């Protein structure tokens, strides 16, 4: 029951984090700044738990560093995508993470998709066709040239790679140590991105501070619950369940940002969730 509760918390906190990120970028805050503030706030919170972390080996530190690099890049592109596109469109795109994983499995592990896997891909494509049909470009190659879609795909790839290293850290230590290191290394690499692009941190008003605190809280809960689930459940099953946030993102996009075509997007995202679940599990 604790695992199921953690899955529900993860789904809710992930979608809420997306909402706060989109709101903040809509008010003009740079995506690099939002990315850094998120990890910086989480790092400050992590200082209270650092004494409870397990002993750090070279393997744990290496996996944490590489995971932090991909995580910081993935989170930036996610925020960047949300600043430009609809939550109800970008949320379901994450279901394609299972296709990315399958492609890597074919070339790196020689795993050939089964009939169920092919059926899952067909559902993903059909579901995305239903959703993308609500856009001006429709379901076409032209859609991939949209910056919000490209940024979301970049985020998908980077976070999929990040998940592998997070799992390695959890296996070699524990979920708290993995969480703390995720915060610290994410802060380091998000700061490097900020400095490389010479982004100045803006002064914050009350709304921005409240939104940043909300992002830090929801992102922290999301990541810790993710680690909790990964420790207790097969990662493939967990990833399948996490796709349910796509349906919630469609609802939140309609309710909060007044995005249109709710029923069509809801139907398409539901089909994509089923396809992702079949693809991941089988």
pLDDT of residue 234: 65
Note the pTM of the prediction, 2 decimals. Answer: 0.85
Q: E strand or H helix at 138, and its extent?
A: none
State the pLDDT at residue 93: 80
Q: What is the pLDDT of residues 68-77, one digit of tens each?
A: 999 999 999 9
* Contact in structure between 237 and 281 (CB atoms under 8 Å): yes
Pair of tokens at residue 78: 């996610």
pLDDT at 199: 85
Tens of pLDDT along the chain (282 residues) come to 788 888 889 989 999 999 999 998 988 889 999 999 999 999 999 999 999 888 889 999 999 999 999 999 999 999 999 998 888 888 778 777 767 766 766 665 566 777 877 787 788 778 888 887 787 777 777 777 889 899 999 998 898 888 888 888 988 899 999 999 999 999 999 999 999 988 888 777 788 889 999 999 999 999 999 888 878 876 666 766 777 788 888 888 888 888 888 888 888 888 887 887 776 676
pLDDT at residue 187 in the model: 96
246 near 273, Cβ under 8 Å?
Answer: yes
Dump the DSSP string for 110-171: -PPP-HHHHHHHHHHHHHHHHHHTTSSS-SSGGGGGSHHHHHHHHHHHHHHHHHHHHHHHHH
pLDDT digits (tens, 9 = 90+) for 109-121: 566 777 877 787 7
Task: List the chain domain ranges.
Answer: 2-281
Alpha carbon dihedral 262, 268, 270, 274, in 10-degree steps, equals -170
């Amino acid at each position: 029951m604790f695992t199921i509760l953690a899955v529900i918390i993860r789904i809710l906190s992930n979608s809420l984090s997306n909402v706060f990120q989109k709101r903040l970028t809509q008010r003009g805050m740079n995506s690099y700044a939002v990315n850094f503030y998120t990890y910086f706030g989480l790092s400050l919170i992590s200082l209270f738990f650092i004494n409870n972390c397990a002993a750090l080996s070279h393997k744990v530190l290496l996996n944490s560093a590489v995971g932090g690099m991909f995580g910081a890049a993935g989170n930036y592109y996610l925020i960047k995508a949300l600043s430009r596109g609809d939550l109800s469109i970008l949320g379901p795109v994450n279901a394609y993470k299972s296709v990315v994983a399958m492609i890597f499995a074919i070339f790196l592990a020689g795993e050939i998709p089964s009939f169920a896997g092919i059926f899952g891909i067909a559902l993903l494509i059909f579901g995305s066709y239903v959703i993308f049909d609500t856009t001006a470009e429709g379901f076409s190659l032209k859609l991939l040239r949209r910056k919000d879609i490209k940024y979301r795909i970049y985020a998908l790839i980077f976070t999929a790679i990040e998940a592998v290293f997070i799992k390695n850290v959890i296996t070699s230590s524990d979920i708290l140590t993995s969480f703390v290191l995720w915060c610290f290394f994410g802060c380091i690499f998000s700061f490097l991105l900020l400095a490389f692009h010479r982004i100045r941190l803006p002064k914050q008003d009350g709304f921005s501070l409240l939104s940043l605190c909300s992002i830090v809280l929801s992102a922290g809960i999301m990541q810790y619950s993710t680690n909790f689930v990964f420790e207790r459940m097969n990662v493939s099953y967990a990833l399948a369940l996490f796709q349910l946030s796509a349906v919630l993102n469609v609802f939140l996009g309609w309710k909060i940002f007044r995005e249109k075509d709710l029923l069509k997007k809801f139907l398409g995202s539901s089909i994509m969730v089923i396809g992702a679940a079949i693809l991941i599990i089988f």
